Structure 1
Amino acid sequence: MEHSTDERFLQTIQTKAGEWKILRRGGFWGPNASGKSSFIESIFFARNYIVTGQKSGKGTGVNQFRGDFADLARCYLFQFMFYLDGEVYEYGFSLDRRQVHEEWLLQLTEKDLAPVFTRVTDQNGKTEIDIEPRFANYQAKDRQLADVLKNSIQEAQKNQLFLYKLYDNGIKQAEQIVHWFKNLQVIFPHTKVQALPLHMKADEELRQYIATMLHKMDTGVYEITVASEEIDFREYAEKLNLPKEIIDDIEEIKNGIVNLCGKYFV
Structure 2
Amino acid sequence: MLIQFVAENFLSFKDETVFNLIATSDKRHPDHINRNNSPNIDILKIAAVYGANASGKSNLINTIEFARDFIIFGTRGDETISTIPFRLDSDCINKPSKFQFLFCHKNQIYDYGFVVGKNQIYEEWLFIKSNRNFKRMYERITTKAGKNKYEFGPSLVRKTSKKKYLRYSYEMEGTRVNQLFLTEAFNRNIHEIDPVMNWFKYTLVILSPNSRYSALELRAKQDKKFNKFLCQLLKIADTGIENVSTDIENLDFNKQFPDMPENIEKQIKDSVNNDKGILISDGEKQYAISKTDDNKLILVKLKMQHKGKDDILIDFKFDEESEGTQRLIHLAPAFADLLESEKVYFIDELDRRLHPNLSKSLIELYLELHIKKKNRQLIFVTHESNLLDLNYFRRDEIWFVEKDKMGTSHISSLSDFKIRSDLNVKNGYLKGRFGAIPFIGDIERLGWLK
Output the TM-score relative to the length of structure 2.
0.50
Shift of 1:160: 1.4
Residue in 2 that maps onto 1:263: 287
Partner of 1:160: 179
How far the C-alpha of 1:25 sits from its partner, in A, is: 2.8
Residues 106 and 113, structure 1, Cα contact 8 Å, conserved in 2 = yes
Cα contact 1:212–1:222 (8 A) shared by 2: no
Q: Within the alignment, does 1:9 sit opposite 2:32 as a pair? A: yes
1:12 aligned partner, one-letter code? R
Matched, 1:97 2:118: yes
Kept in 2: contact 1:135–1:143 (CA 8 A):
no
| Counterpart in the other structure of 2:259 | 242
Shift of 1:170: 1.9
Q: Does 1:142 align with 2:164?
A: yes
2:232 matched to 1:208? no
Higher relative contact order (CA 8 A, sep 6+): 2
Q: Is the 8 A contact 1:207 1:224 kept in 2?
A: no
Deviation at 1:99, TM superposition (A): 0.8
**Judging changes above 3 Å, is the alpha-carbon distance between structure 1 residues 254 and 186 closer, same or farther for their aligned structure 2 residues?**
closer
- Asked if 1:230 is matched to 2:253, the reply is no
Give the drift of 1:251.
6.9
- TM-score with structure 1 setting the length: 0.79
Q: Which range moved further: 118-127 or 195-204?
A: 118-127
User: Which structure shows the bigger proportion of residues in strand conformation?
Assistant: 2
Sort the Cα spacing of 1:120 and 1:241 in 2 relative to 1 into closer, same or farther, 3 A: same
Partner of 1:197, secondary structure, is helix
Change (3 A) 1:20 1:231: same
The alpha-carbon deviation at position 244 of structure 1 amounts to: 7.0
Q: Which residue of 2 aligns with 1:171?
A: 190
Q: Is the 8 A contact 2:137 2:154 kept in 1?
A: yes
- Structure 2 vs 1, CA of residues 86 and 229 (structure 1 numbering), >3 Å: closer, same or farther? closer
CA-CA distance at 1:222 after TM superposition: 4.9
Asked if 1 retains the 8 angstrom alpha-carbon contact of 2:125 and 2:139, the reply is yes
Say whether 1:57 aligns with 2:85. Answer: no
Partner of 2:296: none
Deviation at 1:75, TM superposition (A): 1.3
Superimposed CA distance per residue, residues 137-156 of structure 1 (whole angstroms, 9 cap, x where no aligned partner): 21224333222333335xxx
More deviation, 225-234/128-137: 225-234
Over 3 Å counting, the alpha-carbon distance change for 1:150 and 1:265 in structure 2 is: closer
Match of 2:46 among 25, 32, 43: 25
For residues 241 and 175 of structure 1, the distance between their equivalents in structure 2, rounded to whole angstroms, comes to: 43
For residues 108-158 of structure 1, the C-alpha deviation after alignment (integer angstroms, 9 at most, x for no partner) is 1323323222223467766421222332221224333222333335xxx21
Partner residue in 1 for 2:207: 187
Partner of 1:143: helix, strand, or coil? helix
State how many pairs are aligned. Answer: 256
Give the aligned partner of residue 113 of structure 1.
134
* C-alpha contact (below 8 Å) 1:233/1:247 kept by paired residues: no
Structure 2 distance, partners of 1:125, 1:228, is 56
CA deviations over 1:47-97 (Å, ceiling 9, x no partner) = 22212232332211113x784483431211111122233321110001011
Superposition deviation, residue 100 in structure 1:
0.7
Name the SS for the 2:242 alignment partner: coil
Identical pairs, percent: 23
- Name the CA distance, whole Å, in 1 between partners of 2:269 and 2:136: 55
Structure 1 residue runs of 5 or longer lacking an equivalent are none
| Paired residues of 1:208 and 1:223 also in contact (CA < 8 A) | no
* SS of residue matched to 1:242: coil
Q: What per-residue deviation string (whole Å, max 9, x for no partner) do you get for residues 210-243 of structure 1? A: 2433455x46345332241434625743xx6534
Q: Equivalent residue of 2:138, what SS?
A: strand
Give the gaps of 5 or more residues in structure 2. 1-23, 291-450
Cα distance 1:23–1:142, how it changes in 2: closer, same or farther (>3 A)? farther
Q: RMSD over aligned Cα, in angstroms?
A: 3.2
